[in-house]
Amino acid sequence: MDCLLHFTDESTLAGQIAAVWGVTALPIDRHRFPDGELRLRLPATLPPRVTLLRSLANPNEKLIELVLAAGTARELGASHLTLVAPYLAYMRQDIAFHPGEAVSQRLVGRLLAGLFDRVITVDPHLHRVATLGEAIACAQPVALSAAPLLGALVASRRPGAMLVGPDEESAQWVAQAAQAHGLAHRVCRKVRTGDRAVQVALPEGPYAGRAVVLLDDMCSTGHTAAQTAAALLAAGAASVDIAVTHALFATGAEATLREAGIGEIWSTDCIPHPSNAVAVAPLLAAALREVAESTET
């Protein structure tokens, strides 16, 4: 029998996954010492196959949690460990842009591959790397996509809307969502000059009178989406909303989106946020069921 380990701040998603999958969700007790170090306590006995749920938004401390939890689970008898990270951090830095820079994708991928037999995530932010297996080379990686689920939401909330990707990296998700639900789509070109400085060029429309929904894997500062929305509204779009897999939303991001004229903000619950409108538990549970069946002896 499988079990699903989780931290208490993700108990809602863990419960949803466990209910759909048909396994028991077990919490990990977490204590912080006065000096900042962590103490974890897992269930005293574990089955051979164990899944750990940890979405890696605000990842730095959570990576230490994974080291402690995975090592302890092995000591308690787990022979096959799966990490479910609905959001997988440190994927954007896939090359060294300047001498001496850490290639965090490769290094974090190596860490995860050493801890887990399989890693399951949703819409990882891969750019110059084509597959998740290239980023996490030694594990058995599974990259799911929430794009069709977001497309279904858009089709129900904005029938006939045009999907627009704010940059070339979004093309894969926009195409998936559009094709799954018969929606028109376009992809913009982006030139980034800093963390919060971008220029967006719209492709040929038509946009006049159209309901447009921006779709991407994540939104962090909101500046790219805001520039795209402003350009679309200037081109005559009737409305602009946004749908993303990962609601990272740095401080001030939502205000930036609203000031640019964006109406609705929708996201999946890969990262808990008030904008969550799409549940990923069925998607993750289906993948976990396949993993369990493939590892049965």
Mind listing the pLDDT tens digit for each residue in 84-137? 999 999 998 888 888 999 899 999 999 999 999 999 999 998 888 889 999 998
What would the mean pLDDT of 77-83 be, rounded to a whole number?
95
Which among 80, 125, 186, 190 is annotated as catalytic?
190
- pLDDT for the residue 165: 95
Rounded to 10 deg, the angle between the 11-21 and 281-295 helix axes is: 60
- pLDDT for the residue 199: 79
On the question of pLDDT at 169 being above 60, the answer is: yes
190 is catalytic: yes
> How far is it, in rounded angstroms, from Cα 245 to Cα 266?
9
Degrees, nearest 5: CA angle 123-125-126: 110
What would the mean pLDDT of 144-148 be, rounded to a whole number?
96
On the question of pLDDT at 196 being above 70, the answer is: no
- pLDDT for the residue 95: 84
- pLDDT confidence bin for 259, thresholds 50/70/90: very high
> How far is it, in rounded angstroms, from Cα 187 to Cα 164?
5
On the question of pLDDT at 297 being above 60, the answer is: no
User: Per mean pLDDT, which range of 181-195, 229-243, 269-283 is the poorest?
Assistant: 181-195
- Residue 211 vs residues 118, 232, 238, 257: alpha-carbon distances, Å: 40, 10, 5, 16
User: Per mean pLDDT, which range of 48-57, 61-70, 165-174, 254-263 is the poorest?
Assistant: 165-174
- pLDDT for the residue 231: 94
- pLDDT for the residue 266: 98
Nearest to 252 by CA among 288, 209, 221, 281: 221
Residues facing residue 144 across a β-bridge: 122
On the question of pLDDT at 205 being above 90, the answer is: no
- pLDDT for the residue 189: 87
> How far is it, in rounded angstroms, from Cα 264 to Cα 76?
46
On the question of pLDDT at 198 being above 70, the answer is: no
- pLDDT for the residue 197: 64
- pLDDT for the residue 138: 82
- pLDDT for the residue 296: 67
> How far is it, in rounded angstroms, from Cα 242 to Cα 213?
5
- pLDDT for the residue 11: 96
Return mean pLDDT, the chain.
Answer: 93
On the question of pLDDT at 77 being above 60, the answer is: yes
224: its two tokens:
């790219």
Please, where are the H alpha helices in 102-218?
Answer: 104-115, 132-135, 147-157, 171-181
Share of the chain above pLDDT 90, in %: 83
- Residue 10 vs residues 33, 105, 282: alpha-carbon distances, Å: 21, 24, 16
